[in-house]
Amino acid sequence: MDSILHRLTAPLRRCVFAALFLLLFACTPGTPETAPTPTALPPKPQAVEFTISTGLKVNGLYYPASANPAPVIVLMHGGGGHMDDWAQVGMVQWLQNRGAAIDPTPAPEDDPRLLAPLPEGVSFAVMVFTFRGDAIETGIAALETARTLPGVDPNRLATMGSSVGADSAAAACAAIPGCLGSLGFSPVGSLNGVIYANTVTQMDAAGKAIWCIATEGDNGCPPATGERFHEIVKPGGAHGLGLFALPRYTGAWQDTAEFLNHVFGSIENE
């Protein structure tokens, strides 16, 4: 009788064992998959378009960094200018640091005007645009757009601006989370009812760095105070991107590198 029962129940036992084996296999933790490292985007600029509240469409360009994700620098031109102004002085290529030619003009090795390249491997994403409508609103919208671009770290942003663009750059950084600092070249002090000194106070309270570079002949930086406000006043009378134009270099490249180092950590050569 036991032998007959054994033979009759054998298929059932085999099914039970098979089910238990499959259940055990399904519940055993496997080797976790390693997420692939995001690849760097091509260096070629990409067209960017965004819309402000009045319905105006604003055009820009996005230059990806060699890292992914990477900090992004949003550049804002001066009054009467254009987004191409930044490429013409070499700022876009210098920040992107992906092998593009910057300035073929030779300079003596001991010349403080010389643009020192960023260290190999240090690369920032860059966004430029041409203002339309209210400069403050456009600057804020541009920074909001920059945070969503592919290859950008939305928590590591900074702005730079020239002349009125410096005021807009500071106001935008103050308004947008993830923006860590703003560097202005010759801010004018007041733009569309926004006072630069008030923006400095707002940035300071939020723990954001705000730097100003201006010249003595251009009345220096607007009056402002704050622990995180840093002003650099140069000799001469250059204004805005004139600080980078031959033959009036005033060491602004080195000052810019120091700002980036202050905001994002060491970028100095080993």
Q: Check residue 253 and give its pLDDT.
A: 87
Amino acid making up residue 133: G
Cβ(151)–Cβ(172) below 8 Å = no
pLDDT digits 0-9 by tens, 245-269? 766 566 888 899 999 999 999 675 4
Rounded distance, CA 211 to CA 232, Å?
Answer: 8
- Inter-axis angle of helices 196-205 and 164-175, to 10 degrees? 30
Report, as an integer, the average pLDDT of 102-129. 70
β-bridge partners, 59: 49
Q: Does the predicted model carry a pTM greater than 0.85?
A: no
Q: Check residue 245 and give its pLDDT.
A: 76
Tokens, residue 56: 């105006």
Three-state SS for 156-181 is EEEEEEECHHHHHHHHHHHHCCCEEE
Rounded distance, CA 205 to CA 192, Å?
Answer: 22
Phi, psi of 179 (to 5 degrees): -85, 125
pLDDT digits 0-9 by tens, 127-147? 999 999 999 999 999 999 999
Q: Tokens 């965004």 identify what position?
A: 50
User: How many CA atoms lie less than 13 Å away from 149 in the CB half-sphere?
Assistant: 37
Report, as an integer, the average pLDDT of 96-106. 67
Cβ(58)–Cβ(130) below 8 Å = yes
pLDDT at residue 194 tops 50: yes
Rounded distance, CA 13 to CA 148, Å?
Answer: 58
Q: Check residue 170 and give its pLDDT.
A: 98
Cβ(221)–Cβ(185) below 8 Å = no
Question: How distant is the alpha carbon of residue 8 from its chain centre?
Answer: 74
Cβ(150)–Cβ(164) below 8 Å = no
The CA-atom distances, in angstroms, between 158 and each of 56, 208, 211 are: 24, 10, 11
**Pairing between β-strand 125-129 and β-strand 57-63 as defined by DSSP bridges:** antiparallel
User: How many CA atoms lie less than 13 Å away from 159 in the CB half-sphere?
Assistant: 37
Q: Check residue 208 and give its pLDDT.
A: 98
pLDDT confidence band for 30 (50 / 70 / 90): very low
Query: Which residues contact residue 114 at a Cβ distance below 8 angstroms, ignoring those fewer than 6 apart?
Result: 107, 108, 253
Q: Which fold has domain 47-264?
A: Rossmann fold (3.40.50)
Q: Which of 8-12, 66-70, 94-98, 220-224 has the lowest mean pLDDT?
A: 8-12
Rounded distance, CA 249 to CA 76, Å?
Answer: 20
Tokens, residue 123: 């690369």
